[in-house]
Structure formats: structure tokens, C-alpha cells
Structure 1
């Protein structure tokens, strides 16, 4: 990789790493998500000439990371919530639900990622749509359905 390509990749990495790590952690748990993001970015570095020409490299790398995570944790495991320690003091939230990880685990992968990234982390529907390679309205549907399931599990009404 020449100097210009290294500089381009460094700029891309600065943007992509956090987004991929958070999305994949939301989908597969923290440890598997971090490892999958690292693998997808290593692949991107090795194949930078191809990646930099893609119309949606983030979406493609999400799929690379997803494949790596599924290979690592097994195709039957949807989400490993036990590696997320959710304690109110740690998160400094006054009304934190300690069973949130368990309830998130019961959502579909796309609902979980959409709810996690949009409501938990403040990403836009457009940013999540790029990662999941779907439309913005589809992300909205995943968020609405995911939140409805979470509210039902938590026994709360949405006013």
C-alpha cells in the first residue's frame, strides 16, 4: 500500500472503526463484536484498493464482520448478552433496567442493532441503514418493532 492509500485508509478507519465495533457488538455481544470489527477492518486494509471503490464500504464490512462473528460464536447463537455487565452504577442511569441485555437478546439481529444504534447510541436512521444495507424506512420499522417488543417485555406503556 503506497503512502496515499495508507492515508486514505487511516481516514476511513477513524470513521469506520467505532461504527462497525458498536454495530457488531450490538448484534453479537461485546467480545464477538469487537473481534469481528477488527477482522473486518483488517480485511479492508488488505483489500483497500477494492474497498475504496465500493459505493457502501461500511455495509460490506458489516457483512464481513457479521460472517466473522457467526464463524466465531457459531451460527446457532444469536446474541451473547452475558458478556455485557449491565449495572446501574456503571451506566449512571437513574432508572436502568438490569434485564435489558436479556430482553435485547430476544429481538431479531436487525431490530437489536437498530434499537441499540438509534436509541442507545444516537446514530441516525441513515447511518444504520448504510450499515445494514437497507432503506431508512426499514430501519424505522426495525426500531418501532424492537421498541414495541421491549416495552411489552418491560411491562411499560408508550405514551
Structure 2
């Protein structure tokens, strides 16, 4: 089974990374601009939920149904079927002062014509798209507004 895999380090806690990988509002902020998620069943990004992943720019391409198989600390596993079948896995773990985030897609394309197209044009596109999404995720998390100190904390630091 072919694999696409990318990883990145993010200056944030594992809990913060999980929040950005599972909160639908936050997902839409780092998700590739060419992709759109349409919830089908359940609360998005919870175990057992399902959604369609659609390419906005290629309206003729069939949306791919995804099902969230597992959500736990450090690991999200989703399965997909459609033009291609397989698993999309997100893993993250702390290392020193950063969290390493890995996105891995194990897939199989049964249609020979689609496989030729994907191997020629799709792989470079999806590999670049994975890098862009991970970079956007890092930028969003690392540049999030820090909570401002409470007035009491400000008074204490000014004394």
C-alpha cells in the first residue's frame, strides 16, 4: 500500500495540538484552501463521526467519505473510501519544548486510470498540500494570541 507522510515540529503542548486537530472551527483555519469538509454524521472529529472531504477546485471529482475510527491523546485514525481507500493518521508527541506532528496517508487506488493520473499529478500535489497544511497548522498554533494577564496579575507584576 503506497504511503504519503509529512511531519513538523510545533512550539506547543500536545493538548494544544490535539485541540487544533479536533476542533472543527480551528480545523477550517488550517485546512488547505482547496479542500472542504462537509459533516455527515456525529460531532466532527469525534470517534464514529463521518464527513465528506471535497476538492473545491475540482467540482467533477467525487467527494471522499471519511470516518473517524479513533481519537485519543496523540493519535487520530480516519478511514476513507471512494476513488481511493485507506487511512489518514495524525500522530503527535512531545519532544523537548515542541510537539512533533506526523500526518500519514496509507492509500490504495483500485481504478488503473485514476492510479496513473494520481501517480503522475496527484502525488506531487498531495505531498505539497500536506506540507502547506502542516505549515499553516504550525503558524496558527504558534501565532495564536496569548491570553493577557488578569488585572490582579498586572498589579502584582507592576509592584
- TM-score, with length taken from structure 1: 0.26
Question: Structure 1 or 2: larger helix share?
Answer: 1
- TM-score, with length taken from structure 2: 0.26
